[in-house]
Structure 1
Amino acid sequence: MKRMGGWLSSKTTLPATKSLTALDEPAALQDALKSAALIMNDENERAENELSKGTSPFHKLGRATTFFLRATLGFEKEMMEQTSACLSEAEESASEHHRRATRDPTTAHQSKIYPTGSEYALCQAETQLMSAVIGVLNESLTESLRGFYKLRRAFATLHTIVEAENRYLDKHFSSASSSRTSTATEKSKGPYGSEEASAASSGVMTPTSADDEDIEFKDAEEGLADQPTPGQYQGHLDLPVENLSINGSTKGDLDSKSSVEEPPPYAAGISRAASKMDNLNFTADVSNDPIDVYIHSGVSLCYGLLQLILSMVPPAFSRILSILSFRGDRENGLRLLWRATAFKDNINGALASAITLGFHNAAVALCDIHSRESYPKDRLRVLLQDTKKLYPKSVMWLLEDARMAMGSRDLEKGADILINNPLKSPLKQVEALRLFETCTALMCLHRYEECATSFIKCVDMNSWSPGLYLYIAGSCHVELYRQAVLKDDATRAETHKKKATELLGKVTSYAGKKKLMARQLPLDVFIVRKLTKWTARSKAANTDLVDAIGVSPVEEMIYFWSGFRRMRPEHVELSLNSLAWSESQHQKSDSEPIDERAILAVLKATCLRTLNRLPEAQTTLQEQVYCYDWHALKACPHADNWPLPVAHYEHAVCLWQEAGGQDGEREVLRKCSEELGKVEKWESFDLDARIGLKVTTARETLRRVGV
């Protein structure tokens, strides 16, 4: 085997033995990374076949990753069970190799940066992170709790590896990291410097001394469509280091536009201790050893993702996690993920790219209160173009293209990308996700017939929540029925009424079968309660089910799927037209339940706020929602209990817009914060986790701007 400066001959063959030697490791890693790269090109079957030929922990981890992506994209129980088995095998293999490496260091790769066996410890941590996700998605509460335990163990491992990297950088690159604060005590250094700096930057509490054995590794036993996928791994193993940078810039050409630009402004407020790597090019300045590069990119991916996820949990759940010594830091998590995207040509960097794009396009872009810098549009677009060139067959990048278009309020373009692009994924889970994104775009466009047809197709493509798909499809026909009634088209009205009744009648038989942490899915609970409410109303009024439905259920769904963030004024006007039906019904009857009246007011206020008619929106909330008592709302038959707390959130958004955003009048922003505080302290309500994610982002934003 030939090895010089991290370069490996592509002709090197893998050993047939189960245990790797120090000389075997680089070849096994390169082969596994080359095969794993196929995953990001929607070639999972080919990747699985190639990875199955190897017996190293790297191959087993790669194979487990193929199963994991299918499981998390499709939420199918059978695939989750297969994934759990595959992850267990990969974890055991990594654990065995790590034990061997620590007992006899001569059998493993010797890094100048990381403890012996860190590459296997990282493999184990990655399997534990994926196992934690599968555990939470599992229908068993026991498996969910085991998942949280694995999450904690993975953090301990990652913490230790990052500590080792920081010690090395402090020792050998003190000038590059001299900008870091040096006044803090040096008695106990965390992952980014001093103990105090660590707490401020990582956002995740360091486990206490009682968990020291966990921190050590001692518990290890537990757009170019016709462009071919590269024939071999194209990553840092074979690329000249002078062309690579941790920030993605080209050495010697830092002023030119790079494939990944400098860290965005939102990272500026982070502890200086966390930024020591920003002045270094890892492969050129620190190490071009392929195993070191694998560890560095993998830890950046996993540690960044862990902190990002923990920073996103709703307030109530966040308090529970804090008891377990977990606390997220969004800025640091994003900083690490962006750092990992510099290695997008290996599986770690490619996954970091997918996560970074997905987070910004499916989370940040749909939040109402966030800073200008939190969505670096140009940088994201460059990252997307780079990943599309590397992995031209993947539909995942097509989804991100559509999401970026819709995030810019171009729903038509987003829908067109999803519907008419000829690129298809061989993975049914990816195509199911594409179809669902299409459905939500059509829903926001109020293209009811197409939306209903697409949601019905979802029932056959994905088993996660078929009741929800049928509910929205039926609700679309309710809207078509109402439109036909307004136009005095009796024949068409009867057709859509019959179709709506048929689809809604199937909902309860499909809903409630899937569970998350041993509980029914919140949306399933929501739609079953709505059907029960409408059924009771139809019996009491001796009328058909469709005629007993209150405020537009489609507009409700648009709200809870953050659709108004994607709409232009002409789309919002269509929503106001839909709400006008309910408004006319309320005017005809004084017996309309107050929860229905409150729903109408919140949705109408949201439309007005989206149109920037802020005084009208706030007046609507004040006079038509706050006038109701919380207990009176809950006392309604099969009550919708969400309008009042959500009204306070909408009021906060109005105040944010009124202030002019982050640089606005402090007093108005303070009032915005007060409204958010009311939502944070509210007791449980319908779909509170969906609002909770927005509240968490809003709170983080206000905190960053000093409110």
Structure 2
Amino acid sequence: MSYSPHTAAMQLASASRGFDHLFANEISSAKKVFASENDPFHLVGAGCLCFLEASLGLETNKMTEATRLLALAEAGSRSALKAAAKSKTKASAAFPPGLEYEIANADTVVLLGISHALNESYMGYLQCIYAMNSAHGKFSKLYKTVFPNGLDSHTTPPLTPFSWTPSVTPSPADSPAITPKTSSSNLSLQPPTSSTISKTPPIRPPTKQSSSSFFGLASRWASGSSSSVSSSSSSSSSRLPSTPDGANETGNTEEIQNLKNLIIAGTAFGFGLFNLVFSLLPKRVQSVAGLFGFAHSRRLALEALSVSASYAAEGEVHGVFAGLVLMTYHGVVLLVSGYQADEARILREYENVVSGIEARYPKGALWILNRAKILRMTYDPESAIRVLKSGLEETKKDAENEHGEGFKQADTLLMFELAWIYLSQRQYAESAEAFIKLTELNSWSHGTYYFIAAGCHLSLALSDGVSPEEKEKYLNKAQELLDTIPNLVDKRKMGGKDLPTEVLIKKKLIFYKEKQKRRGGDETKFAQCIRISPAEELGIFWNTHSRISPSIAEAHIKEWSALSPPVGIDSPYMSHSNTKSEQSSTLPDLDTPDELALRFLLLGITHRSIGCVGLRLNRSPPSTEPASSSSSYVEPSISAPASDQTSSSQSFPEDLTRYEGNAPACLRASRELLNAAHALQPSIRVSTWIGGLAMFELAVLDLKEVEVEEKKEKENAASLEMSADFKKRWQSALKSARAKLDAAMALAPNSVDLSSRLDSRVAMLRDEISTKAEDIGVSL
């Protein structure tokens, strides 16, 4: 089959309509569009849709089908690329013929590679590297061709015709290999220098001749300037570069521009995603990746994704996916890194990306999810709950309209987020119900969901004021769920391996049974001996306790400190009575180093949460100026959609100022508690992950303490300039935190449960430390 730019453009336009249906939760309609043609774009669409279903729901049967479809798309794009390489016809003088198929081919490769990393095991990460090795050359070559002078100089597509050696190369006579014109400094995978990239990565899509920030672009989306592809002809012509004399372009202006948008946005997306994936792999795995010759720059990756995302307003598929990747990345950094060098900027950027795509697909579950995440990250869990519940109602209606086939996997994400928010708010009955509901929505680790739900019922049984009858009911329900778990975890495998969370759960079940037997109880009723909820324990890995309100933290502290033996560390909110154990038994509630260390860790995290309350207090007079890039984020200005804005004041009824006086004492207690958790590491038998996590949390505490002090000084100082003294204090804290991260990794070898997750968190926090050092101009 011969190459026709017009045909390629028409196929792309049709496949793009399928993606529009996908992003709007109209899965049945999307599948019909993708099944209507057999060209590379429709095959990639079908494979991508199935991949999303499989990855979002972690369903192995779907992943098998996704792999099959992506393999067909890969073969189809290679065949189309061969035909284009032989053709003399060009869609544009700016780019060689068939470059759009090269991008489609690279899309399939990276999706197949990412699937291996989803089980969070080191073997999965290594398989990801192996699978993506073939994509490395593709992305580098595409990047050099489309961005010969780097992203920073990208104001228009290159105007000179390129010679292109595709990945699938025909005979030399048909396609002489000529190296694209680049300079050795254009495309370094090392971090850009300060002269080429600012703190907010510059984005220069073809519509702009001058520099513009990501925030400006996202604001343009949010202001309603997003338009469909079919209505963008007038703006498209302004994006077209002038054509050199003697170069002919086939097809109409809109077709040419759509193909160019695909090439630019697709290249930026693929290159950015490829680098971001490697930057987020655990450091041990990155060292292996170095053997393949891989290098990465997370900052360059984020800049490339931002360039791609700027095309989302015109309906370019890669642009929308780039926005989704940026949303996911920002959400992960805010959730699990513990400290952000510039939280306010991340939140603004996150909000702008969400607003832009949300305006185009208001009913899309993925954008509803990220709206809720922003609200959660800005300490407005009640609004987040309303957004998620409303979103689930909308997707239910969509499923009915789609004859029962809505985007079930995206619904799973909404329910998953809702379940964790309920847990963070101590709404245990609602959280348990939501986690059990997840077993109906996807096939991922039902054992994990049951374990957390059982923990919620245990929390209800251990609550103050519960009657003996209610306590027995909750304990029986918890035991029932725990008894079901062994069959679930033995049945569920991913890639033939136990899931990391399930490995931990198996150990905990044995631990609980041994404790019950040791204490002379009925081993079949081991839920009776559990004093710290398994849900709260797993919540540590999802960093559930870092953004809770002071009142929630206080309730946790009183509950855990009331257990025997006494904590032995003083704080304003710690209970010293041990009334629960005095009423129930002469045996201590916690009788192993594992349990004592776990309590120290949880108490240390929750005390730090109260100690950092000053970061949420804003005593500065209202200002219309944007927040300083170095300022701490204060009470959120980001609100829920209009339908959820009942009363912003009702979202924050808690008087935060009443905790301010005790904040220094809580920070002191936090350090003592976390050090105590770490000190017990040599005695811990089962929960060997605690020592490493305690060191990580101490590193976060080092940074948070100085952040609190800095904010207080700025409130009292006439100038916002950082004093020399504070620079020294920051330098000392940054060095101390970095040393603690080294110690954390030394305590978390591969044999430690969920060590890969800690590894990723450490990598993110290291980046934030480096960013802060660069911002304030200190060396480490």
| 1:373 CA drift (Å) | 5.8
Aligned AA (1:33)? S
Q: Structure 1 pair 547/296, CA: closer, same or farther in 2 (3 Å)?
A: same
SS for the counterpart of 1:327 is coil
Q: Following the alignment from structure 1 to structure 2, what is the Cα–Cα distance between the partners of residues 200 and 511?
A: 43
Say yes or no: does 1:620 pair with 2:588: no
Q: Structure 1 pair 442/174, CA: closer, same or farther in 2 (3 Å)?
A: closer
Q: Following the alignment from structure 2 to structure 1, what is the Cα–Cα distance between the partners of residues 191 and 120?
A: 34
Say yes or no: does 1:405 pair with 2:388: no
| 1:111 CA drift (Å) | 3.9
Match of 2:690 among 643, 646, 652: 643
Match of 1:260 among 188, 200, 218: 218
Say yes or no: does 1:105 pair with 2:95: no
Q: Following the alignment from structure 2 to structure 1, what is the Cα–Cα distance between the partners of residues 739 and 413?
A: 37
Do 1:101 and 1:116's aligned partners in 2 also have CA atoms closer than 8 Å? yes
Aligned-residue Cα RMSD (Å) equals 3.4
Query: Superposition pairs for residues 67-216 of structure 1, below 5 Å?
Result: 67-102=50-85, 104-106=86-88, 109-137=90-118, 147-167=128-148, 193-194=183-184, 198-201=188-191
Do 1:314 and 1:689's aligned partners in 2 also have CA atoms closer than 8 Å? yes
| 1:323 CA drift (Å) | 2.4
Say yes or no: does 1:21 pair with 2:4: yes
Q: Spell out, residue by residue over 1:108-156, the C-alpha distance to the aligned partner (whole angstroms, 9 max, x if none).
A: 5354344443211111110011111234448999998665333121221
Q: Following the alignment from structure 1 to structure 2, what is the Cα–Cα distance between the partners of residues 365 and 189?
A: 44
Q: Spell out, residue by residue over 1:411-436, the C-alpha distance to the aligned partner (whole angstroms, 9 max, x if none).
A: 11111211234321511111121111
| 1:681 CA drift (Å) | 2.8
How many residues are matched? 611
Deviates more, 1:136-145 or 1:469-478: 136-145
Aligned AA (2:670)? A
SS for the counterpart of 2:563 is helix
Do 2:204 and 2:212's aligned partners in 1 also have CA atoms closer than 8 Å? no
Aligned AA (1:532)? I
SS for the counterpart of 1:357 is helix
Do 2:154 and 2:204's aligned partners in 1 also have CA atoms closer than 8 Å? no
| 1:481 CA drift (Å) | 1.0
Q: Following the alignment from structure 2 to structure 1, what is the Cα–Cα distance between the partners of residues 214 and 96?
A: 37
Do 2:455 and 2:536's aligned partners in 1 also have CA atoms closer than 8 Å? no
Do 1:136 and 1:144's aligned partners in 2 also have CA atoms closer than 8 Å? yes
Do 2:438 and 2:449's aligned partners in 1 also have CA atoms closer than 8 Å? yes
Say yes or no: does 1:364 pair with 2:334: yes
Match of 1:632 among 666, 669, 683: 683
Q: Which residue of 2 aligns with 1:542?
A: 520
Q: Which residue of 2 aligns with 1:490?
A: 468
Say yes or no: does 1:676 pair with 2:736: no
Do 1:583 and 1:600's aligned partners in 2 also have CA atoms closer than 8 Å? no
| 1:545 CA drift (Å) | 0.7
Q: Which residue of 1 aligns with 2:306?
A: 338
Aligned AA (1:695)? V
Aligned AA (1:625)? A
Q: Which residue of 1 aligns with 2:720?
A: none
Say yes or no: does 1:431 pair with 2:411: yes
Q: Structure 1 pair 192/363, CA: closer, same or farther in 2 (3 Å)?
A: farther
Match of 1:695 among 746, 749, 762: 762
Do 2:3 and 2:87's aligned partners in 1 also have CA atoms closer than 8 Å? no
Match of 2:274 among 306, 310, 313: 306
Deviates more, 1:108-117 or 1:414-423: 108-117
Q: TM-score, normalised by structure 2?
A: 0.72
Query: Superposition pairs for residues 272-671 of structure 1, below 5 Å?
Result: 283-285=239-241, 289-344=257-312, 345-372=315-342, 375-421=345-391, 422-424=393-395, 426-483=406-463, 486-487=464-465, 489-543=467-521, 544-583=525-564, 589=587, 592-612=591-611, 613-622=666-675, 624-628=676-680, 630-633=681-684, 636=685, 639-660=686-707, 664-671=729-736
Do 1:551 and 1:579's aligned partners in 2 also have CA atoms closer than 8 Å? yes
Q: Structure 1 pair 696/253, CA: closer, same or farther in 2 (3 Å)?
A: closer
Unaligned ranges ≥5, structure 1: 1-17, 178-187, 204-244, 263-280
| 1:395 CA drift (Å) | 1.4
SS for the counterpart of 2:148 is helix
Do 1:19 and 1:56's aligned partners in 2 also have CA atoms closer than 8 Å? no
| 1:654 CA drift (Å) | 1.0
Deviates more, 1:422-431 or 1:360-369: 360-369
| 1:285 CA drift (Å) | 4.8
Q: Structure 1 pair 248/646, CA: closer, same or farther in 2 (3 Å)?
A: farther
| 1:583 CA drift (Å) | 4.3
Do 2:56 and 2:409's aligned partners in 1 also have CA atoms closer than 8 Å? yes
| 1:487 CA drift (Å) | 3.0
Do 2:553 and 2:606's aligned partners in 1 also have CA atoms closer than 8 Å? yes
Q: Following the alignment from structure 2 to structure 1, what is the Cα–Cα distance between the partners of residues 378 and 488?
A: 35
Q: Which residue of 1 aligns with 2:23?
A: 40
Q: TM-score, normalised by structure 1?
A: 0.79
Do 1:125 and 1:153's aligned partners in 2 also have CA atoms closer than 8 Å? no
Q: Percent identity?
A: 21
Q: Following the alignment from structure 1 to structure 2, what is the Cα–Cα distance between the partners of residues 643 and 465?
A: 23
| 1:356 CA drift (Å) | 1.0
Do 2:204 and 2:211's aligned partners in 1 also have CA atoms closer than 8 Å? no
Aligned AA (1:55)? N
Do 1:311 and 1:329's aligned partners in 2 also have CA atoms closer than 8 Å? yes
SS for the counterpart of 2:362 is coil
| 1:589 CA drift (Å) | 4.9
| 1:284 CA drift (Å) | 4.8
Say yes or no: does 1:686 pair with 2:753: yes
Do 2:547 and 2:609's aligned partners in 1 also have CA atoms closer than 8 Å? no
Aligned AA (1:419)? K
Q: Following the alignment from structure 2 to structure 1, what is the Cα–Cα distance between the partners of residues 429 and 113?
A: 39
Q: Structure 1 pair 190/627, CA: closer, same or farther in 2 (3 Å)?
A: farther
| 1:193 CA drift (Å) | 4.6
Q: Which residue of 2 aligns with 1:233?
A: none
Aligned AA (2:297)? D
Q: Spell out, residue by residue over 1:68-89, the C-alpha distance to the aligned partner (whole angstroms, 9 max, x if none).
A: 1111111111111111111011
Q: Following the alignment from structure 2 to structure 1, what is the Cα–Cα distance between the partners of residues 765 and 694?
A: 15
Q: Which residue of 2 aligns with 1:61?
A: 44
Aligned AA (2:765)? A
Q: Structure 1 pair 374/693, CA: closer, same or farther in 2 (3 Å)?
A: farther
Q: Following the alignment from structure 2 to structure 1, what is the Cα–Cα distance between the partners of residues 379 and 27?
A: 33
